[in-house]
């Protein structure tokens, strides 16, 4: 991966987005439904785009929201719809547009009091809390492009299970939204903003208090407060900016909060690896500001803009690799949640570190390995079949202390607070904890590379069969498994994974770019990892020739 010369440096003024121009484009530019790049496209995290590129404009949100309304009607969802937004510049107007359509269609809506900002996991928590009480089922919308650059907007739909919608739902919504665009938006029902906010059933909702109060049932907040540890929390100008001060006050934590005011240009950020502003809390470049302060705190953390991801900073290691922290979280939780069922598994995506497998084996717990995408954890979490679900990109959630479901979407808040609980109760921070795991299980090296390719190769990779791989060794070790379906749920992985005793690689085509991604890991060092990567590319070349 090429690193930009300004990576990790404060964002210069000339790279800041022109927010007025962006907002103007939202209302004045209109997409061409015949241009595939300007249509509604639901990926793994909803529809994303930029008003400047004509793929996230008012027309898109009118069409998508009307499609969601019609989907709810088809699915018989009659409870309230919980809606939240993050602090990206486009989230504010898109949130208002959505409210106009929802109100015009008679949907009961709960929006944040004071038109405030709401993290993705808080919407999931609100949906599940409401639905647990019985009655008409609720669902939700989160207006966010996650950690994407400031020029982007995003729109996600969460059904009554509280987690990311599956492809059967997003496919229906996408198709209907594009049909609405093609029809010139004539199918859209809409009222003014004032009428929407005054409509019967459209209510301001206190999201903060119920979530903050309930945290004690997921995290040992008393232990954190009693230990008196010094905590640094970087809200990164995101949707949880009101939550850290509320949490610190409610539980009496010694916490210093940074960047807890909205700045739609995100001018305080340090540039990511490619020289762009990106609120990626798993990137050491984007997190350089907090890392520089690591020695001021016993534990520190940051979150991306919709607070569904976590970045853990320790005095010794700085920003932890997400895979490393997942392994620590799993080991600690399994040993400190006595009410969790011993027969429940650990959920991981197939491109997450094999350190998780070794830790789980040491705990006597089975691993449930699923394809990439947090949606695969929703049903197992709801059913209590897994106690933890995590992915390599710094997203995870876990059950309440009493083993009931907490959220079915990624929750960066509880993963950050768990780092504080570990520091308070284990007598060492998560970085030191991981060093102990390395001493017991080995020290893996993990990397991802993107290889330029063409659409033909991407389609070929999706259709691979295990028997097409002629090799019986990987970097000098016998191949133990060749996978095109995830072992945890037998779902297609959209690529290939090859596993040996001390290393593995997975190949997946990108859904948005003409590249394929090689994820690889070695427990035998840099040279072994390089051999795995080279052999992975050679295998791909042979089967796609």
* 344, 184 contact by CB (below 8 A): no
Average pLDDT over residues 284-310: 97
**Fold match, 13-206 / 445-544:** no
Q: What is the DSSP letter of 377?
A: G
Domain boundaries, the chain: 13-206, 211-441, 445-544
Confidence of residue 87 (pLDDT cuts 50, 70, 90): very high
pLDDT of residue 506: 97
pLDDT of residue 43: 78
Confidence of residue 196 (pLDDT cuts 50, 70, 90): very high
The two counts, helices (H) then strands (E), for the chain are 17, 22
For the stretch 216-270, pLDDT in tens is 999 999 999 999 999 999 999 999 999 999 999 999 999 999 999 999 999 999 9
Confidence of residue 470 (pLDDT cuts 50, 70, 90): confident
Residue with tokens 């060749």: 482
Task: Quote the CA–CA distance of 364 and 362 in Å, as a whole number.
Answer: 6
Mean pLDDT of the chain: 96
Catalytic residue among 50, 146, 353, 354: 146
pLDDT of residue 316: 86
Active site residue 393: no
Average pLDDT over residues 512-521: 88
pLDDT of residue 518: 95
pLDDT of residue 165: 95
Residue with tokens 């049932």: 217
Average pLDDT over residues 102-113: 98
End-to-end CA distance of the chain: 25
Q: Residue 49, CB half-sphere, CA atoms under 13 Å: how many?
A: 24
Pick the range with the lowest mean pLDDT from 188-202, 204-218, 334-348, 512-526: 512-526
Task: Quote the CA–CA distance of 501 and 491 in Å, as a whole number.
Answer: 23
Question: How many CB atoms sit inside 10 A of residue 426's CB?
Answer: 17
Tokens of 21: 């121009």
Average pLDDT over residues 315-329: 96
Tokens of 158: 């969460």
Per-residue pLDDT for 1 more than 70? no
Tokens of 470: 């002629």
Give me the helices (H) in 105-158, please: 120-132
3-state secondary structure of 515: strand
Predicted TM-score of the model (pTM): 0.96
Report the sign of the C-alpha dihedral through residues 102, 106, 112, 113, in that order. Answer: positive
pLDDT of residue 507: 95
Question: What phi-psi label fits residue 525: left (phi over 0), alpha (psi between -120 and 50 degrees) or beta?
Answer: left
pLDDT of residue 512: 64
* 461, 544 contact by CB (below 8 A): yes
pLDDT of residue 193: 98
For the stretch 56-79, pLDDT in tens is 999 999 999 999 999 999 999 999
Using CB atoms within 10 A of its CB, is residue 451 exposed (0-12), middle (13-18) or buried (19+)?
middle
3-state secondary structure of 256: strand
Per-residue pLDDT for 99 more than 80? yes
Pick from 182, 142, 174: nearest CA to 159: 142
- Element at 167 (helix H, strand E): helix 167-182
Give me the helices (H) in 183-315, please: 193-198, 208-214, 221-227, 243-251, 288-291
pLDDT of residue 288: 98
Write b or e for each residue in 319-337: b if 16 or more Cβ atoms lie within 10 A of its Cβ, otherwise e. bbbbbbbbbbbbbbbbebb
186-192 own/partner pairs: CB under 8 Å, 24+ apart: 187/66, 188/62, 188/63, 188/66, 188/101, 189/66, 189/69, 189/101, 189/104, 189/105, 190/62, 190/100, 190/101, 190/104, 191/100, 191/103, 191/104, 192/100
Q: Which fold has domain 211-441?
A: Alpha-D-Glucose-1,6-Bisphosphate; Chain A, domain 3 (3.40.120)
Percentage with pLDDT > 70 across the chain: 99
Per-residue pLDDT for 485 more than 80? yes
Tokens of 193: 């903003």
Q: Give me the architecture of the 13-206 domain, per CATH.
A: 3-Layer(aba) Sandwich (3.40)
Percentage with pLDDT > 90 across the chain: 94
Q: Which fold has domain 445-544?
A: TATA-Binding Protein (3.30.310)
For the stretch 367-398, pLDDT in tens is 999 999 999 999 999 999 999 999 999 999 99
């Amino acid at each position: 991966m090429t690193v930009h010369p300004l990576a990790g440096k404060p964002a210069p003024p000339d790279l800041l987005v022109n927010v007025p121009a962006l907002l103007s484009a939202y209302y004045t530019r209109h997409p061409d439904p015949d241009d595939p790049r300007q249509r509604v496209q639901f990926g793994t995290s909803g529809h994303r785009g930029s008003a400047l590129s004509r793929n996230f404009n008012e027309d898109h949100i009118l069409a998508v929201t009307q499609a969601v309304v019609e989907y709810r009607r088809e699915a018989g969802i009659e409870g309230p719809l919980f809606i939240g937004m993050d602090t990206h510049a486009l989230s504010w107007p898109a949130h208002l547009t959505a409210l106009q359509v929802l109100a015009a269609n008679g949907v009961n809506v709960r929006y944040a009091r004071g038109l405030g900002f709401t993290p993705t996991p808080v919407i999931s928590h609100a949906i599940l809390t409401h639905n647990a009480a019985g009655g008409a089922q609720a669902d939700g919308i989160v207006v966010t492009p996650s950690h994407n650059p400031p020029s982007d907007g995003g729109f996600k739909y969460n059904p009554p299970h509280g987690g990311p919608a599956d492809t059967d739902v997003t496919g229906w919504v996408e198709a209907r939204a594009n049909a609405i665009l093609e029809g010139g938006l004539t199918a859209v029902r809409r009222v003014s903003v004032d009428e929407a906010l005054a409509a019967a059933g459209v209510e301001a909702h206190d999201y903060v208090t119920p979530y903050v109060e309930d945290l004690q049932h997921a995290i040992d907040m008393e232990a954190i407060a009693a230990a008196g540890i010094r905590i640094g929390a970087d809200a990164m100008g995101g949707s949880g900016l009101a939550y850290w001060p509320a949490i610190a006050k409610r539980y009496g934590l010694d916490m210093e909060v940074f960047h807890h005011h909205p700045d739609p240009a995100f001018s305080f950020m340090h540039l990511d690896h490619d020289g762009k502003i990106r609120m990626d809390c798993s990137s050491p470049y984007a997190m350089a500001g907090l890392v520089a302060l690591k020695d001021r705190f016993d534990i520190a953390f940051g979150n991306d803009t919709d607070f569904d991801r976590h970045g853990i900073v320790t005095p010794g290691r700085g920003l932890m690799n997400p895979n490393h922290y997942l392994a620590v979280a799993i080991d600690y939780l399994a040993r400190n949640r006595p009410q969790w069922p011993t027969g429940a598994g650990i959920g991981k995506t197939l491109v997450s570190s094999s350190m998780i497998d070794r830790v789980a084996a040491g705990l006597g717990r089975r691993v449930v390995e699923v394809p990439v995408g947090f949606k695969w954890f929703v049903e197992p979490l709801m059913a209590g079949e897994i106690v933890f679900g995590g992915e390599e990109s710094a997203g995870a959630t876990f059950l309440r202390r009493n083993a009931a479901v907490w959220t079915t979407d990624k929750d960066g808040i509880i993963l950050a607070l768990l780092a504080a609980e570990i520091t308070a109760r284990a007598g060492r921070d998560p970085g030191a904890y991981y060093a102990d795991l390395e001493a017991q299980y080995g020290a893996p090296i993990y990397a991802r590379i993107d290889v330029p390719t063409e659409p033909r190769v991407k389609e070929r990779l999706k259709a691979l069969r295990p028997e097409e791989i002629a090799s019986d060794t990987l970097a000098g070790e016998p191949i133990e498994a060749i996978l095109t379906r995830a072992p945890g749920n037998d779902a297609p992985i959209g690529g290939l994974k090859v596993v040996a005793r001390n290393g593995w690689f997975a190949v997946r085509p990108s859904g948005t770019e003409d590249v394929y991604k090689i994820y690889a890991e070695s427990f035998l060092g840099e040279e072994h990892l390089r051999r795995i990567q080279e052999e992975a590319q050679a295998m791909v070349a042979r089967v796609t020739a």
